[in-house]
Amino acid sequence: MSALWKRIVWIGALFSSLSVLWACGIGVTVCKSGKECAIGQRCMEDRCQVPPIEGNQTPVARAGADLRVKKGERVRLDASTSSDVDLDSLTFSWAFVEKPKDSKTALENAKSVQASFIADVPGKYIIRLTVKDGPGAADDDEVTVIVNRPPVANAGGDQLVLPGAVVTLKGSDSQDPDDDPMTFSWSLEKRPVGSVAKLNNAAGEISSFTVDQPGLYIIQLKVSDGFDETTDSLQVQVADPAQLNPQLQALEPFRAPTRSRAVVTLHGRDFLQGAKVYFDEKSLTVDYRSSKRLIVSLDLTSAKVGGHPIKVENPGGKETKALVFQVDDIPVPILTALSPAKGTAGQTADVTLSGTGFVVGAKVYFRDKVIPSTYVNTNKITTKLSLVGLTAGTYEIFVENDPSKRSKAKLFEVQALPPKPRIYKHIFTPGSTIGSIDNVYESLRLTCYGLTKDMQLFIDEKPYKGKIEIQIDNPSNGVGTIILRSFSTKGYTKGHKSFLIKNVGAGQVVESPVYRIRFTNPHEPRMSYLRFDNSSRGATGLDYKVLELRGSNFKAGIEVYFDGKQYTGKIERTGTSSIKIQPYSTKGLKEGAHSVYLLNVIDGKKYKSNIYQYTLQDGRVPLIQSVTTSNGALFTNRTYTYLRIYGLYFQPDATVLFDGVPYKGTVQIDQGRQIFLYQFFTQSFQPGSHTVTVRNVIGGKTYTSKVYTLNMSDGSKPKIKYVRFSPSSQLYEGEVYQATITVDNALTGAKVLVDGVEYPGTVQSAQTVILIPQFSTKGMTVGTHVFQVRNVINGTFFDSNPYQFSIRRRQPPRLYSLTPATISTKQITTVQIRGSFFSATSKVFIGTTALKATFVSSSTLSIQVEPTVIGEGVHRLYVQNVDGQKSNELTLSVLPNLGPLLWGISPASFVVSGNGALGSQQLQLYGYQIQTGAQVYFGTQLIGTVHSPSSQTTPARASISTQFFTKTEVAAISVKNPDGKITNTSELWIQKLTKPEVYSVSPNVISTTATNVQLNLYVRGATTSSKLYVGNTQVQATFTPVTLSVYTGRFRANLNPSTLAVSGDYIPIVIENIDGSKSQPFVIATTASAFRVSYVSPSQMNIGATISQITVRGSGFSSAAVVYLDGQAVPTLYSSSSYLRVTPDLGKLNPDVYHYVEVRDGQKRSNTGIFRINRGPLVRNITPPVLYVGGNGLLKMQLLYSVTGGTLEIFGKSFPLFGSSVVNVSLASELLTAKPGLQTFQFTFPNGQKSSTGAIHIAPAKTP
């Protein structure tokens, strides 16, 4: 056997044994001598020894691919592909991270390379593998095993059919809990004697057959998901219609609103295939499901409210008794669910809205806008949401049957796409951007954009298994650093590695671009570039002062090779990145391609760099690189201070040639790199292209450069580059602009042409810029026009290129608002006019008086209004453009300073305990001319100060002390401005609570088996000394006052419900004050209760607002359930087990307090729900706030919400309110006899409740 053959056999045996040992978790190495090292040793320096621990590398754990198995199957786990680069001995440990709740299985051989377990119940099993090497370094990996859940076969209900009928078999109700695709197989298990019936499409979800003999047929359905299968069967009986007595027993549902569509299931018995269903004696399309179930669709879009009969008629004419289907009036829709309830920003989402009471034509609102939707039935609407341009957050969706009937909103969550990450720089520690193979760095830092905490790092498409630290410096853009500690390049080969980040979120994976990092052999040098006397170009036949070689990793003793031959001259290594050869001669070298590479010599071994290619050109031939002038572009008929030719290899006596003719002027050559031609004249040149060459003469031989082409423009012709207009870039007819023309080669006195005609206005011209200060478009037509610039030389015209611009016709101006719209007669005021289509020449007219307007933008003008010029009163204001087009009109009121007005206060009421304790309350004061620093009075008592003044659209804001409110009363509030003028008096309702009041508890349902529940109570009339009782147990709680009032606040308690003394399914909560007064029990439910109130809708109502019904939502309600308000029963309309409706007399309920709602059904009593009635309405704005004796009396009030059924009381007269938030009244007749002064008003409602008092000013009649 030859030595070579022995070596081959030996190597093969070695690798064979290594593979076995790796599978057993044992690492071995073999030295050159053939000696096998002991476990834990490595062959180092040709001898077996224990490697140093500080150089140890972490092993790589591989738990195998994820699996899917059947229930009861033995699952085998295999870690034999785990590895360790140090060839250390490995130990293995398997453990369950997760398994199904009812699983009793255990791992067998959990400390071995291979483990197993029995998959005893369906579900997910996650098993973690931990691999450790001898020095203790460890790595984890996980494998997921899914145990299949079998499908549920559903063949449908038994059927009754006529002889010869075609029977349809539907497996569509079959389900797979894992959502696996299912396959179907139908079979006829039994049929009557003599039958030859066969199944059609026996492998389909829907099958059929024709009955050919009377009797019983039994059909089986087998459903498989690829892992498991289940069966179901049904019977088909051929029946005689005369022997059947069909019965209709129930409708599901049994009611739906008009203007809707409903899918109704009819339950009964002895329904025969082909049975008909009649609704109001009209036949419906029937989906025959079984002898006990039929399904129909009801179109109630035009159905009348009331009961409608439904009956079933079998073939043969036998009918059931009719049941009544109730058609209700259009309800307030109830939106119960969104599916899905979340989506990704920038995309669209198909959403199904589930609920009750949806009607045809119902509108879906998203972000307060109606969006297209598809009505399916009374319980279902579908829509498509556009999430483009939305930021992450929650957005409301609700359904509106009509403007007064809207559902409560559901929240749709918009999730932001994870940001697109990008690695943009890196650094190794110790500092370097180039990595070395076979090294362990202290760290590798990757600086990135778009980092998230959920990022994943991949190197060459494989997940990085080492430890990752993430530092996010700026959460808004994800700028931060990924730190890879102890980053190892062991096993790397030189070249580039691809690094990639994946961000995971919102069900999406967003990848970064690939970032490449170069890894080199640490011993190899690298060549980057050459410099010949600081130039990248080299030439033959020259003596250079220095040739510098630039690169990296240059070691001491480095060798340089030119064209494959070692350079034997002097080499100076000036650092690890620079070598200098000085001097360096290229004499004797040929022009053309050359190469250079380097060799590092380390311990007798040579490491070669890359080969760098460069080119030497003939050093005798000049090279022109660029030509420039002292003043930009070249034109004929000009004189330039100089023309500079920049290049290489210019001899001191070189000649410059233009178009092949030697230049006769002054030539100065600077260090062979630059040639200056001073006082360069172009009078002899023609417009167009010209050639430049440089000629060297060396040793009697001529060497001419390559041709360099110059473009010389006509010095007579100007050239327009662009035109800018201000104050607007868009021109309109009949207006004046400033035009700035940027031009080349415009001579002094150049003319401007517009459409070929010299512009007659002022023109300021220079060589590069021409300015027209007042460019008028008056008289110019709408459309395209042309600018040109003309030079005049010796009476000859030289025109530039044409430059087009457009003139448009401006649309009529439009006004939107004035700020302020009411000003004082005492001072000059700046008024902002908001609108559209304004111009710099727009004029503002107040009546017939023209005012100078300041043009801010096409949507904003500003004017200074001097009241003494336009006079007191209400004036018409409009804008007129220069072309005569007028805007719509707005009114500007110039009113005498008669003092401030108070129209209403928010909140209109609040609660105090009456103890005289110092507290504060923020008030919003709706009114007119309430100034900063104004004082707020309660009767004659100063209680606060205004810190934010009122305006046309916002109320004044004041902070008041509550210590002066000690009893329940209607407080008279007024405001006194710093100038001493006082408002009218308005009301603030004060309530002194004699006992505490609970008005909200969260959560309102708790589990009595829980060990920790945080309970939050919102209360009024409590203090920090109050006690909290849950059930019969006093619990420790903290009381935090709310900033609006020290006597309104929140209790927070951490409960252990399992220790409470609770009997039954409900828990009463009571607050007890230090004086012994107790709150009314507020009852919450336990999870054991099926009879409970979830919420009351609406939860707040305003006096005068139209509320037809109050809905009590909950569960477990029956038709016997009764709603109690504050302990009194009210007529209750049963809608379903989940909601009840009541129509209470709101006029009998007190405002400003919380009303308790409870549902009772026999002995059952629910937990507590609440609602509140607020005072109102509030007047937001009055135009004008001053009326004149004998004036037209037109008054416009803007309310914060619409009201119906009340009246406005003013001048002793009543004006009805018609459900609008804007009240318009004419008081002309009242003003004929009115007296100057304050005129108060109030809103009164049918129940006798009144709003707070407001006022307007009545001024003396104006002198004509």
DSSP string, 634-685: -BSS-EEEEEEEEEE---TT-EEEETTEE--S-EEEETTTEEEEEEEE-TTP
Measured between alpha carbons, how far is residue 634 from residues 370, 641, 687, 759 in Å? 64, 12, 10, 29
Q: Are residues 558 and 628 in the same domain?
A: no
DSSP string, 474-539: ETTTTEEEEEEEEEE-TT--SEEEEEEEEEEETTEEEEPPPEEEEEE-TT--EEEEEEETTBS-EE
Q: Which two tokens stand for residue 591?
A: 């022009």
CATH number for the domain that contains residue 638: 2.60.40.10
Claim to verify: residue 574 and residue 502 sit in the same structural domain: no
- For residue 325, pLDDT over 90 is answered with yes
Q: What is the pLDDT of residue 440?
A: 87
Same domain, 828 and 859: yes
Look at residue 81 in the predicted model and tell me its pLDDT: 84
Q: Is residue 73 located within the same domain as residue 117?
A: yes
User: Is the pLDDT at 616 greater than 90, yes or no?
Assistant: yes
Residues 880 and 856 in one domain: yes
> 767 and 689 share a domain?
no
Confidence check: pLDDT of 818 > 70: yes
Whole-number Å distance between alpha carbons of 312 and 1232: 74
- Whether a cis peptide bond, with omega within 30° of 0, leads into 241 is no
Choose between 257 and 1088: higher pLDDT: 257
Q: 1006 versus 1060: which is more confidently predicted?
A: 1006
- Cβ–Cβ < 8 Å for 1166, 1159: yes
Q: Check pLDDT > 60 for residue 534.
A: yes
The pLDDT > 90 percentage for the chain reads 49
Q: Percent of the chain having pLDDT more than 70? A: 91
Predicted pLDDT of residue 36: 53
d(Cα 419, Cα 55) in Å, to the nearest integer? 38
Give the three-class secondary structure for 1231. Answer: helix
Q: Residue 1222 maps to which CATH number?
A: 2.60.40
**Structure confidence by residue, pLDDT tens digits, 924-941:** 999 998 999 999 999 999
- Please indicate, yes or no, if residue 1160 is contained in any of the structural domains: no
pLDDT at 341 over 60: yes
- The helix (run of H) or strand (run of E) holding residue 160 is strand 159-161
Residue 22: both structure tokens together: 């790796």
Judged by DSSP in three states, 173 sits in: coil
Rounded distance, CA 1136 to CA 1108, Å? 19
Nearest to 332 by CA among 1263, 1140, 1206: 1140
Residue 1126: pLDDT over 50: yes
**pLDDT surpassing 50 at residue 450:** yes
- 389 is in which domain, residue-wise? 334-415
Mean per-residue pLDDT for 617-626? 92
User: Is 743 within the bounds of a domain?
Assistant: yes
Domain co-membership, 700 together with 727: no
pLDDT tens digits for range 183-216: 999 999 999 999 999 999 999 999 999 999 999 9
Quick check: is 871 in a domain? Answer: yes
User: 17-31, 283-297, 1231-1245: which has the highest mean pLDDT?
Assistant: 283-297
Higher pLDDT, 251 or 418: 251
Which H/E stretch holds residue 9? helix 3-23
- Residue 209, domain member (yes or no): no
Q: Average the pLDDT over 355-381 and give the result.
A: 93
Q: What letter represents residue 47's amino acid?
A: R
Q: Where does residue 1188 rank: exposed (0-12), middle (13-18), buried (19+ CB within 10 A)?
A: buried
For residue 645, name the pLDDT band (cuts at 50, 70, 90).
very high
Give the pLDDT confidence score for residue 54 in this predicted structure.
Answer: 43
Mean pLDDT value of segment 1228-1247: 87
pLDDT over threshold 90, residue 887: yes
Is residue 28 situated within a structural domain? no
Which of 992, 1012, 1037 terminates a domain? The answer is 992
User: Which whole number is the average pLDDT over 493-504?
Assistant: 90
Lowest mean pLDDT among 785-794, 892-901, 1057-1066: 1057-1066
597 shares a domain with 514: no
Can you tell me the mean pLDDT for 955-982? 89
User: If pLDDT is split at 50, 70 and 90, which confidence band does 12 have?
Assistant: very low
Which helix (H) or strand (E) segment holds residue 6: the answer is helix 3-23
Q: What's the pLDDT at 1059? A: 66
Q: How many CB atoms lie within 10 A of CB 1149?
A: 17
Give the residue from 871, 895, 926 showing the smallest Cα distance to 1186. Answer: 895
pLDDT of residue 965: 84
Please state the rounded mean pLDDT for residues 1143-1151. 74
Phi, psi dihedral angles at 763 (to 5 degrees): -130, 125
Residue 540 lies in a domain: yes
The answer to whether residues 169 and 290 touch, using CB atoms and an 8 Å cutoff, is no
Mean pLDDT of the chain: 86
Q: In the chain, count of helices (H) and strands (E)?
A: 3, 116
Q: Can you give the pLDDT at residue 156? A: 92
Of the listed ranges 310-319, 491-500, 934-943, the least confidently predicted one is: 491-500
> Residue 40: pLDDT above 50?
no
Residue 1124: CB atoms within 10 Å: 17
pLDDT reading at 251 higher than 90: yes
Distance spanning both ends of the chain, measured CA to CA: 135
Same domain, 723 and 802: yes
Answer with the one of 616, 643, 661 that is the final residue of a domain.
616
The pLDDT, as a whole number, for residue 115 is: 95
Tell me, yes or no, whether 406 and 452 share the same domain.
Answer: no
Which residues face 283 on adjacent strands?
278
- The number of domains in the chain is 9
As beta bridge partners, residue 692 has 658, 708
In a domain, 42, yes or no: no
As a whole number of angstroms, the distance between CA 1192 and CA 555 comes to 101
Identify whether 1094 is part of a domain: no
**Neighbour-count burial of 416, counting CB atoms closer than 10 A to its CB (0-12 exposed, 13-18 middle, 19+ buried):** middle
- Work out the average pLDDT over 60-76: 90
H/E element, 868: helix 867-870
Based on the fold, state whether residues 570 and 610 are members of the same structural domain: yes
Task: Assess whether pLDDT exceeds 80 at residue 1153.
Answer: no
Buried b (16+ CB within 10 A) or exposed e, 1189-1218: bebebebebebeebbeebbbbbbeeebebe
What integer pLDDT is reported at residue 1 of this predicted model? 37
Among 371, 370, 335, residue whose Cα is nearest residue 350: 371
Amino acid making up residue 1163? Q
Confidence (pLDDT) at 1181: 85
Based on the domain organization, do 443 and 499 belong to the same domain?
A: yes
Q: Across residues 255-281, what is the average pLDDT? A: 94
* pLDDT for residue 532 is more than 50: yes
> Of 808, 835, 856, at which residue does a domain stop?
808
